[in-house]
Structure 1
């Protein structure tokens, strides 16, 4: 059976939740090895048929270790069937929820210098219950500026699971 390396970078767990949903849809075609980008800086990608990376945006940035991993493994990634998806709250808005229209995905493609063969953008979750008071304040400010919910009494999941399933089927 084919092997797929699935790497992720997450802050509050939504990216990992999306990874698990993708794994559930493709587990009959691939054996998936799921690892945090924090744990895989020196992994042998030769044993994998496909590499998929999912990463979340926090305060306007993707994890620095994501870029370091890509830089160190760009040739191996290019030689593999591969995919990348970005998770961010901007993607909750129509017109900002595709790889072509999402500013974070476009910035990633430029900064990383890597063009994944399969790309997707998913809206994340607003998890006020997981934030400390400072994070809550910053996220509320960002939400106020961007027209999102500032109601810290409830968490809101914006992820379109139908879209996640469709991406999984392309893998």
Structure 2
């Protein structure tokens, strides 16, 4: 029986979970056991998992602090496993900022922590102005205006390249 994989994610609006569901589908197509756990509900022992994949979205320029706390508190355990990290952010909609090496949020993330996963990926997220609170909508519109993105408050646009997610999943299966 293949090693069990855990996908631990942090998501603000649910898109990171959607990416985890796609990755899970890839694992199941290869008959590999996988479990998805929200960081909010995670308090488990990692020893029963051979692979640990962490996924986090960006809100206001930072990844969820609970993902960072998990990494920092379990770094020695993570270093004994096969690991991966993926970031979900709107800056990754731009080709030149769509890799872990060129995405400013991922670069900053890895400068702040000493853990280095075996694999990393960056995926563009989803823009859904109608779903956001007034404050979030206003702030995200300002950020999008500064980065030359859509600012119409009715915009709903998924930027995720699902083929890229699937390809990452295929690499994870072989990790």
Bin the TM-score by the shorter chain: over 0.9
Cα distance in 2, alignment partners of residues 121 and 12 from structure 1: 17
Residue number in structure 2 paired with 1:36: 38
Instruction: Tell me how far 1:37 sits from its aligned partner.
Output: 1.1
Pairs within 5 Å for 1:18-167? 18-27=19-28, 28-40=30-42, 42-167=43-168
> 1:81-100 CA deviation, whole Å, 9 max, x = no partner?
11000011110001100011
Question: Structure 1: how far apart are the matches of 2:121 and 2:145?
Answer: 26
Alpha-carbon distance in 1 for matches of 2:117, 2:48 = 19
Determine the C-alpha separation between the residues in 1 that align with 2:86 and 2:134: 29
Q: Distance in 2 between the 1:30 and 1:105 partners?
A: 28
The Cα RMSD (Å) is: 1.0
Cα distance in 2, alignment partners of residues 37 and 167 from structure 1: 21
1:21-52 CA-to-partner distances (Å, cap 9, x unmatched) read: 01001113421111111221x31111111000
How far apart are residue 3 of structure 1 and its match? 0.6
Gaps of 5+ in 2: none
- SS of 1:54's partner is strand
Moved over 2 A (4+): none
Q: How many residues align?
A: 170
* Partner-residue secondary structure (3-state), 1:53: strand
Q: Which stretches in structure 1 are left out of the alignment for 5+ residues?
A: none
What corresponds to 2:14 in structure 1? Answer: 13
Greater mean deviation of Cα atoms: 26-35 or 135-144: 26-35
Give the whole-Å Cα distance in 2 for the aligned partners of 1:29 and 1:98.
Answer: 28
TM-score normalised per structure 2: 0.94
Mapped partners of 2:152, 2:85: distance in 1: 31
- Tell me the secondary structure at the aligned position of residue 159 of structure 1: coil
Distance 1:108 1:138 in 2: 21
Give the distance between the partners of 1:169 and 1:99, measured in 2 at CA.
18
Q: Return the TM-score normalized by structure 1.
A: 0.96
